[in-house]
């Protein structure tokens, strides 16, 4: 598949939105990342040979170019998370596999100043529903460090099931780190995850 069904798309639920990542986000993305460096560094994938946080615009432009190319190839859906129309973070569905698997992995981060408002679980629920009911994926995984309790609460509140430890899966904050694999399939949410999240209420403290 060389095109993603229903992509690019903008999704909204109240004050929370998802829209495609674009080159014009370069400065707000960089400024938000730098301001949140201490908040994000313990959980962010890093390259063993290069620093994670830089002040230049080159790494962002390279990332967006790569993600947009992968989206055209049907391998990635890179979204900006918005709150009340403003940049709030990033959510990417990537490593998409078609054929008999129809699976993908999801990763996300949120501006620390906006944590605790239910933004991330709402955005993730919208993304899951789009992946399952528009794009046609069957399974989504979120791999999270055991120590990242806030991020784990997001997927646990949404009903992702824990499927075990992946030893030294990713290079994070200077070392190879274990991750817990959480997963969800379309059969788990036949009426949609966003409906399920609305029913549960969004008053929980989340990132």
Cβ neighbours, 10 Å, residue 120: 28
Q: From the centroid of its chain, how far is CA 26?
A: 18
List, for the chain, all residue ranges whose pLDDT scores fall below the cut of 70.
1-3, 46-56, 202-207
pLDDT given for residue 74 in this prediction: 92
CA pair distance 151, 82, nearest whole angstrom? 18
pLDDT given for residue 206 in this prediction: 46
pLDDT given for residue 47 in this prediction: 53
Among the four given CATH numbers 3.40.50.720, 3.40.630.30, 3.40.50.1010, 3.40.50.10490, the one describing domain 11-203: 3.40.630.30
CA pair distance 2, 125, nearest whole angstrom? 25
pLDDT tens-digit readout, 135-153 = 999 999 999 999 999 999 9
Residue with tokens 């030893």: 167
Determine contact, residues 4/101, Cβ cutoff 8 Å: no
pLDDT given for residue 104 in this prediction: 98
pLDDT given for residue 62 in this prediction: 85
pLDDT given for residue 58 in this prediction: 79
CA pair distance 81, 109, nearest whole angstrom? 9
pLDDT given for residue 174 in this prediction: 82
Tokens of 96: 């998409």
CA pair distance 60, 160, nearest whole angstrom? 30
């Amino acid at each position: 598949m060389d095109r993603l069904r229903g992509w690019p798309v903008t999704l909204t639920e109240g004050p929370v939105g998802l829209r495609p990542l674009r080159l014009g986000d370069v400065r707000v993305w960089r400024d938000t990342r730098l301001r949140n460096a201490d908040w994000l560094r313990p959980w962010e994938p890093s390259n063993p040979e290069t620093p994670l946080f830089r002040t230049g615009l080159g790494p962002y432009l390279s990332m967006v170019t790569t993600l947009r190319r992968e989206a055209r190839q049907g391998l990635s859906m890179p979204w900006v998370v918005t709150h009340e129309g403003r940049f709030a973070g990033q959510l990417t569905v990537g490593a998409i596999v078609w054929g008999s698997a129809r699976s993908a992995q999801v990763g996300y981060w949120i501006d620390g100043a906006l944590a605790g408002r239910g933004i991330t679980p709402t955005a993730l629920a919208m993304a899951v529903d789009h992946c399952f009911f528009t794009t046609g994926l069957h399974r989504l995984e979120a791999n999270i460090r055991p120590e990242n309790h806030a991020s784990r609460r997001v997927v646990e509140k949404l009903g992702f099931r824990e499927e075990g430890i992946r030893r030294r899966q990713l290079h994070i904050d200077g070392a190879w780190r274990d991750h817990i694999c959480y997963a969800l399939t379309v059969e788990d949410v036949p009426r949609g995850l966003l409906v399920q999240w609305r029913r549960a209420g969004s008053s929980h403290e989340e990132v």
